[in-house]
Amino acid sequence: MIAETDIQNTGVEGRLRSIVDELIATGDLFIVDIVLRGHPGSHSIDVFADSESGASVDQLARLSRAVNNDARMEELLPGGFHLTVSTPGLDRAVSDRRQFVRHVGRKFKVQWKDADKSVTTKGILQSVDPDHISLESGSHEVVQIPFDKIVKAKIDLPW
């Protein structure tokens, strides 16, 4: 998923994603999101990466160096850019199946589509299957939510 803000050239996001995907292809990191903001000569890129076992600072630093040193980046974003590489953090929406696996046992708030209506379900993430997640609600009912029906899922933080 690429969020686009103030960028005129819609092809830039796709090429950026391809470059970053290629740079991480040999490791266990995966891209959660890439946010590109700004204008020519003043771009800002936020890369949110994770791994199934949790991304280390060293992995994120290596990815940051690889992106900064890739010759294609100057061609893609002439005039330079500011790059931030980090994990998504607990306050960002969970969007990748691999992220859900790491958070089994945590309380979630999930907005999803059930037929023609929008539903919000809160509960403890019990399991992650290839095509759905299972949440145990406050009434101990287990609700299975297909990945393709999830609109937004966030860890329900106590604060």
Please report, for the domain that includes residue 57, its CATH number: 3.30.300.20
Residue that finishes a domain, picked among 86, 114, 140: 86
**Residue 10: what pLDDT?**
52
Quick check: is 91 in a domain? no
For residues 80 and 120, state if they share a domain: no
- Count of the separate structural domains present in the chain: 2
pLDDT in tens, 42-52: 899 999 999 98
Structural domain of 147: 97-155
pLDDT in tens, 7-66: 444 588 899 999 999 999 888 899 999 999 998 888 999 999 999 888 999 999 999 999
Quick check: is 92 in a domain? no
Please tell me the pTM assigned to this model.
0.78
For residues 80 and 118, state if they share a domain: no
- The CATH number given to whatever domain includes residue 117 is 2.30.30.520
Cα gap 149→159, rounded to integer Å = 27
For residues 81 and 60, state if they share a domain: yes
For residues 148 and 123, state if they share a domain: yes
